[in-house]
Amino acid sequence: MTSTRRMSATCALALGCWIGSGGCADDSAARGSNGDVIRIGVFLREGGDSSDEILAVRQINAAGGITIDGESFTLELVRVFDGASAEGGARAVERFVEQGAVAAIGPRWSSIVLGDAPDHANGAAQAAIEHDLIMVTGSATSAAITTLDDHDLVWRTVPSDDIQGEVGARYAYEDAGARSAAILYRDDAWGTGLATTFEGAFEALGGTITAVEGFDPELDFAGYAFPELDGVFEAQPDLVYLLAFNETSQITHRVVQGGYLAAYGDQPPLFMATDGSYDTNTLNNSAPEVVSRLVGTVPGPTRSDPVFADYLEAFEEAGLGPGDTAWPYPYDAVYVVALAIQAAQSTATSDIKAELRAISTADDGDVRVGPGDWADARAALEDGEGIDYDGASGPIEFTAQGDPGRGYYSIWQVGRDDDGAFVFERDEDSSIDF
């Protein structure tokens, strides 16, 4: 990637107190003199926190917050556990509305956004439509989200899996040299969409798909034998495309225990995963024989991008965790919502929607702003100028469907740190623009 993106020095400010994973107390930092706040909801996942969202809120508030008609407002996060289910996500939307949130960030899983096919009547998206609440997700990547009849209420800063599946197929065929591939996928909205896209793109390049096997994401994987592996390895494919979350570690051990690699002799297959397996704990609980042959795709730029590198540094300096746990998409989701409110001079849903595309897309004369540039962005808008926000994750530029129209993917591989633990290593030359 050769872009010359920039990041304001304000992004590296020391940003105050540390907020633990369970704490929900005053994430808004110092409030305005009259105590006025604007609340934004965050869908919390089990065992997780909202560190990237917290960083965005701290920075915006430290730079003076949002001003509407000359009155200052600080941002406050309303964090609600999504229950790791569509129904839990829908209930979270109701909680956000009850607590006065004007928009929500998340959910993290596509299945929570969508709910059950074909009508998706029980997901968070449907609840958002019923309550007229804007959702901007930084993690839900299913291609099915793009075509939702969502009244322009469901947006995302993370790209669709239609792009990730094509990127993975190109890498598998053109760079890794695979001519045959089998797919093992999590049978939900996320996994089925990625499996379909990869299959079509790989075959279009000239490759052969030897098997497509789905597994039930509701299973107890601790004792599950994964009989689907019989079909995956029957034709001894060059590559196994693995679409899983924390089940990844169990799958890799079943591959070894089942003796599936023995038939390959000295030429074991390549295993390819996605951002679903991009988790250090999952990696270090997996079978070394598989991990040593594992590569994957992940949305986002590499550290060679100066904006992303500065974002990771700011994340660490804020005491929110090591840089490899940062995920810039929810951060950008908070930023675009806040900028749209500032541009609209309103917290009304219709007014926020009307500004989201404008603040993320470059027009002649627009002031270009990035992470940490809140004061500059607010000043430009107050002066009647347009802005173009290029985020920590990439340029964004929302499409008519509310997806990012531009951004980056990179390829990760697996190495070991000084203590011998497995770590992810992004190929700094692999950043792919879309």
What are the b/e assignments for 104-122, b being 16+ CB within 10 Å?
A: bbbbbbbbbbbbeeeebeb
Q: What is the pLDDT of residues 188-218, one digit of tens each?
A: 989 999 999 999 999 999 999 999 999 999 9
Tokens of residue 149, six digits: 């009849």
pLDDT of amino acid 114: 95
Tell me how far apart the terminal alpha carbons of the chain are, to the nearest angstrom.
11
Q: What is the pLDDT of residues 376-393, one digit of tens each?
A: 999 999 999 999 999 999
Q: What is the pLDDT of residues 44-60, one digit of tens each?
A: 987 677 999 999 999 99
Lowest mean pLDDT segment, chosen from 12-16, 382-386, 404-408: 12-16
- DSSP labels, 256-280: HHTTTTGGGTT-PPEEEE-GGG--H
pLDDT of amino acid 236: 98
Instruction: Please identify, in words, the CATH class of the domain defined by 9-159+303-407.
Output: alpha beta
Helix axes 51-62, 328-344, angle to 10 degrees: 40
**The overall pTM is greater than 0.75:** yes
pLDDT of amino acid 203: 98
pLDDT at 266 over 50: yes
What are the b/e assignments for 316-344, b being 16+ CB within 10 Å?
A: eebebeebebbbbbbbbbbbbbbbbbbbb
Q: How many CA atoms are closer than 13 Å to the CA of 135, on its beta-carbon side? A: 36
pLDDT at 41 over 90: yes
pLDDT of amino acid 434: 75
| Structure-model confidence comparison of residues 20 and 134, the more confident one | 134
Residue 401 burial by CB count (10 A; 0-12/13-18/19+): exposed, middle or buried?
middle
* Beta-strand pair 432-433/408-416: antiparallel
pLDDT of amino acid 32: 34
| Structure-model confidence comparison of residues 424 and 30, the more confident one | 424
Domains 9-159+303-407 and 161-301+409-433 share a fold: yes
pLDDT of amino acid 429: 62
Average pLDDT of the residues in 216-221: 92
| Structure-model confidence comparison of residues 198 and 322, the more confident one | 198
Tokens of residue 346, six digits: 């309103």
* Beta-strand pair 404-406/396-398: antiparallel
Indicate the fold that domain 161-301+409-433 takes in CATH: Rossmann fold (3.40.50)
Q: Identify the band that residue 35 occupies on the pLDDT scale cut at 50, 70 and 90.
A: low
Distances (CA, A) of 160 to 154, 299, 390, 406: 13, 10, 18, 11
Domains of the chain, residue spans: 9-159+303-407, 161-301+409-433
